[in-house]
Chain A
């Protein structure tokens, strides 16, 4: 038993001020994420998923509430949290390998290990063959794989992913999900995964946080009891389909409620 959850957020509130008007984007967010847990954030577009994720990453501040990691409050971004952004963030003037090396160098890795560690991580996402390609020569899926390798390379305890597979076609998306599962199982890390895709959320997560709209808040938390490791094709099992329907219904209720207001 652990004394502290990996991440604990209580009564967090966040607003944006645009000129004279202030909109509350996140209201009274409470959530706990356990060590090595895989959780997803789902919810209608604009409900504040990205905002919450970047607050957890330490890239945005908030007005009220508390955020604890391993029991201590955090202030700003840190090497304990790796982020895979929704947009492509590979540095275009560096090759795939150099991009991973860049992260290792900036996080203060031992210089002589850097090339070796970088190669291992490209291996991990099955891209060793493209080590010397520039991002402009890689497909969208390959770029996100390098970004995952890069985020994992310096061993953050927590991986924050904002719709990392949003721009990919269904086939590549499926492959990426399996790859991510595999990596998560081998590396034991805490993942917070933002997605639009309910099937994806159910397939990957231990628990799913459904977010409400206007203002954004945690509406419901749905546990996914399915076995680990999850076999491919589990998406079509009856229990899993039912869970998907449940999550979808929860999101729909929320958008409908927001429309009526």
Chain B
């Protein structure tokens, strides 16, 4: 096969491709431009913050300046408070989230593959899903005190029910012909499930994990806000008690950064695990 190249029009070489204006719908922008715009948005936010505090529009007790927040955070980082708070919260998330995810995946496989179990379990999951997690906090304290177990429980309640239903959806989306293919090889149902269905759904399952991990940060903070003696959420209640607004804001920022970082790590790992989905 030969490809004819047009050599008759040398004058028109290097013509710039037509570009849509930056603000038109669905206009393509390059990676660096994207980053630049994103950084500008952050800078704008910080500048507004500086302005509001610098002009004396607010009292420091309501909104301290960015510099005060950074100074406070630095101090907390130096004396080890920050690291131990982050450590405690991360530990709680890891355990609670891990248990919820494993259980949710097992449930999802069961209800995704067997109509009997779907009928038996799914309506119940749907029902519990609509109960507000916050409302469980007093109960969980009653059941398990204010230790780590209670934190695991809140994270579990907040993620398990959502995850199970989302994982099930991921599993249901595997094309039926994939299952048919496995069965024509003489594979047992269980083998088809474990060797074809679950691996096929893995990229979507990973995405669900990434999204639900984001929620887990909210649940751990909630649990620590209400009853704890360590962790990021706990420190924020301490800040409130002593009117240390700089610490409260600093910790909220830390939570945001931690959430963003874990999300990025999950994305990166996902791209690495599921390389096979890419064209090149």
Contacts and interface: CB of A to CB of B under 8 A. Distances in A.
B140 interface: no
A107 B280 contact: no
Nearest to B277: A136
Nearest to A81: B184
B183 interface: yes
Majority secondary structure, A binding face: loop
**Looking at A76, A77, A82, A134, which has the most chain B CB atoms within 10 Å of its CB?**
A77
Given A136-B276, A136-B278, A77 B177 contact: no
Nearest to A86: B177
Contacts of A81: 184
Interface residues of B, number: 23
A227 B1 CA distance: 31
Nearest to A57: B184
A159 B262 CA distance: 49
A54 B179 CA distance: 12
B279 A79 contact: no
A59 interface: yes
Contact of A79 (B186, B195, B202): B186
* Contact-residue size bin, chain A (C-beta under 8 Å from the other chain): 20 to 34
B202 A107 contact: no
Interface string B181-222: 111111100010001100110100000000000000000000
A-B complex: 6 closest residue pairs judged by Cβ atoms: A134-B276, A106-B185, A85-B177, A77-B183, A89-B181, A77-B184
16 contacts: A54-B180, A57-B184, A59-B180, A59-B184, A77-B184, A79-B185, A83-B180, A85-B177, A86-B177, A89-B178, A91-B200, A93-B199, A107-B186, A134-B276, A136-B279, A154-B185
Given A92-B200, A92-B277, A94-B276, 15 more contacts: A57-B180, A59-B180, A59-B183, A77-B183, A79-B184, A83-B180, A87-B177, A89-B175, A91-B199, A92-B276, A93-B200, A103-B185, A106-B185, A106-B191, A134-B276
